[in-house]
């Protein structure tokens, strides 16, 4: 089953958000020492996605670049601000989406949430199931998140340019800071992913565990707000930093500024992540919720 | 000794930096519920120092407001950007510096560093020694930092408008985020400070410990950089989050991006703080160093 399709042309993308520093500094390192990301069956390019946002020490200048890669957005020539234009240029360079000259994208991100080294998969075909199993086997503190609730091509993420691609999401790291632990995790995870793709291409994968744990995206919760969209509360202290810890019906989830507590009323065991991510305050998003699932590899 | 000078007119300032949210949200709360900050012998005003930076979700628009309160800066009418203008307006409202109508300023700040609830004192006269002892006695996880290496009036901080004033500095909190633990610490520490000033005014202070531990500022270290001022390395993982943990000659302090380690070569036992503070990357500042000292209260 493996090896029927080869993924030889890989792009590692950093700085899709200009204030997520780990990927930006790793790209710089790898451009100076390209043998670190070289693998036998791969040609690996690096792409610095949003250099102007980095210069200005911001997530973006005009709009979030990692929401500009939907087919509609890429085709709409009216969408012409900096990130929308840069998205079209990157789609030209790595894609075009739907018929991409690149086989596999690794897009490097940081979060202020306590998510540790997380690997976000956009589908659960055989390739991704094996990839997740391999990364978790090599890096036991890695967490696999599934955002496979829509088909890959319907995503608006940069990594949806190619049919196969992943997001490496490492935290906690404040915006505009470099933490060594976070940088090291990102470098390690990226290395395992490159190893996997190379082994996959060469039909040389080791024996993999038959299943692994993953967190499947369900929904996004907003912070408590009033009719004017002003925040009325914050993430409850029990939930802060508790990414991937179970939340049950009746558990406190928010504290209002007047001291009142709000409880979660969902009907499933939820695993919050992206808890209190700074970049999501624009839209008053408090966290994402996932269900814990076991993925059978074969 | 206490009670000879009364400090009746107090100002609590939040949002001196627009992306340090705890003070901004506490001001909002206290404006709705002013009895929370009311004390018998005090009139307490609240000042939202940089509302435009908050609107734009930035530390500042043009320049760091908390460096605009030197006597020279306040007198220099050529300094006319937003923060420089706003500083003059605040000086008019609370000051003027040198002859201020306000007796005591509490300026509320957040840091991305793991400093916990820190109280920064700008001098160690009898009032401040008692204040530090009181806060530490009431809040055992509080840390007292002394920035008394220059006279108060030579500081360029907002809180230097008045002869007596403190900075409440709470972390770790990413920029543009509200953490409940950090908010709660800030509210608690501010309450103890108000209590102290009120008790001091009324000659009603309880018995205080005879001495307490504090961290006296020595110097600021820069990140490793090349001749062009580009960062060559980052805070060493052993030092990350280790605010107020001792650093000795020969301990690793930075890791260069090529993997090489840099060791601290100072000749004293240093206590780093403001480690990897996001806002200080502008100037490639890595951390401040302090010496641990015991302060005799009487």
Residues A61, A186, single domain; the answer is yes
Query: Cβ neighbours of residue B260 under 8 Å, at least 6 residues apart?
Result: B233
Rounded CA-CA distance B208/B220 in Å is: 32
- Is A269 marked as a binding-site residue? no
Residues B14, B31, single domain; the answer is yes
Count Cβ atoms below 10 Å from residue A180 Cβ, excluding itself.
Answer: 19
Which tens digits make up the pLDDT trace of A72-107?
999 999 999 999 999 999 999 999 999 999 999 999
Q: Which of B209, B241, B259 represents a domain boundary (last residue)?
A: B209
Measured at the CA of B10, the angle between CA B7 and CA B16, to 5 degrees, comes to 140
Q: Which of B193, B209, B225 represents a domain boundary (last residue)?
A: B209
Residues A237, A253, single domain; the answer is yes
Contacts of A172 in chain B (CB under 8 A): 174
Contacts of B231 in chain A (CB under 8 A): 25, 178
pLDDT in the model for residue B3: 44
Q: Determine, yes or no, domain membership for A158.
A: yes
Q: How many domains does chain B have?
A: 2
Q: Quick check: helix, strand or coil at residue B186? A: helix
DSSP one-letter code for B45: E
Q: Which residue of B has its CA nearest to A278?
A: B177
Which tens digits make up the pLDDT trace of A195-229?
999 999 999 999 999 999 999 999 999 999 999 99
Place of tokens 């792409």: A47
Contacts of B234 in chain A (CB under 8 A): 25, 178-180, 183
pLDDT(A266) > 70: yes
Share of chain A above pLDDT 90, in %: 98
Helix B126-138 and helix B180-201, axial crossing angle in degrees, nearest 10: 130
- Beta-carbon separation of B179 and A234 below 8 A: yes
ipTM for the assembly: 0.94
Look up the domain containing B237 and give its range.
217-296
B65: number of CA atoms within 13 Å, CB side? 33
Residues B221, B164, single domain; the answer is no
- Is B192 marked as a binding-site residue? no
Measured at the CA of A109, the angle between CA A107 and CA A113, to 5 degrees, comes to 150
- Beta-carbon separation of A177 and B276 below 8 A: yes
Q: Determine, yes or no, domain membership for B196.
A: yes
DSSP one-letter code for A147: -
Which tens digits make up the pLDDT trace of A19-76?
999 999 999 999 999 999 999 999 999 999 999 999 999 999 999 999 999 999 999 9
pLDDT in the model for residue A5: 81
Q: Quick check: helix, strand or coil at residue A68? A: coil
Residues A194, A228, single domain; the answer is no
pLDDT(A249) > 50: yes
Q: Determine, yes or no, domain membership for A201.
A: yes
Question: 3-state DSSP helix/strand/coil percent for chain B, to nearest 5?
Answer: 30, 25, 45
- Interface residue B31 vs chain A (CB under 8 A): no
Residues A168, A268, single domain; the answer is no
Q: Determine, yes or no, domain membership for B228.
A: yes
User: pLDDT tens track of chain B, all 298 residues?
Assistant: 444 689 999 999 999 999 999 999 999 999 999 999 999 999 999 999 999 999 999 999 999 999 999 999 999 999 999 999 999 999 999 999 999 999 999 999 999 999 999 999 999 999 999 999 999 999 999 999 999 999 999 999 999 999 999 999 999 999 999 999 999 999 999 999 999 999 999 999 999 999 999 999 999 999 999 999 999 999 999 999 999 999 999 999 999 999 999 999 999 999 999 999 999 999 999 999 999 999 999 8
Q: Which of B170, B189, B209 represents a domain boundary (last residue)?
A: B209
Residues B22, B153, single domain; the answer is yes
Residues B53, B149, single domain; the answer is yes
Here the CATH number for the domain that contains residue A265 is: 2.20.25.160
Mutate to test the interface with A, among B110, B234, B260, B276 (most CBs of A within 10 A): B234
From residue A148, give the alpha-carbon distance in Å to each of A124, A158, A269, B215: 7, 15, 19, 51
Rounded CA-CA distance B270/B16 in Å is: 29
- Residue B261 falls in the annotated catalytic set: no
């Amino acid at each position: 089953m493996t090896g029927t399709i080869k993924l030889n042309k890989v792009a590692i993308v950093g700085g899709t958000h200009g204030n997520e520093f780990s990927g930006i500094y790793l790209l710089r390192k790898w451009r100076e020492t390209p043998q670190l990301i070289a693998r036998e069956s791969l040609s690996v390019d690096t792409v610095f996605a949003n250099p102007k946002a980095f210069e200005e020490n911001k997530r973006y200048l005009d709009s979030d670049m990692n929401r500009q890669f939907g087919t509609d957005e890429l085709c709409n020539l009216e969408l012409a601000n900096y990130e929308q234009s840069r998205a079209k240029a990157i789609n030209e360079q790595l894609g075009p989406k739907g018929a991409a000259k690149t086989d596999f994208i690794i897009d490097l991100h940081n979060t202020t949430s306590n998510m540790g080294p997380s690997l976000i998969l956009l589908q659960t075909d055989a390739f991704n199931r094996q990839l997740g199993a391999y990364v978790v086997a090599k890096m036991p503190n890695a967490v696999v998140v599934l955002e496979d609730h829509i088909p890959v091509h319907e995503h608006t993420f940069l990594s949806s340019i190619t049919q196969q691609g992943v997001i490496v999401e490492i935290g906690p790291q404040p915006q505009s800071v470099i933490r060594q632990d976070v940088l090291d995790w990102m470098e390690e995870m990226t290395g395992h992913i490159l190893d996997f793709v190379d082994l996959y291409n060469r039909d040389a994968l080791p024996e993999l565990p038959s299943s692994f744990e993953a967190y499947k995206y369900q929904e996004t919760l907003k912070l408590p707000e009033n009719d004017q969209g002003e925040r009325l509360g914050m993430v409850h202290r029990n939930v802060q930093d508790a990414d991937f810890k179970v939340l049950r019906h009746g558990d406190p989830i928010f504290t209002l500024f007047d001291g009142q507590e709000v409880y979660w009323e969902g009907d499933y065991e939820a695993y919050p992540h992206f808890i209190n991510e700074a970049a999501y305050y624009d839209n008053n998003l408090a966290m994402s919720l996932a269900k814990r699932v076991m993925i059978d590899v074969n």
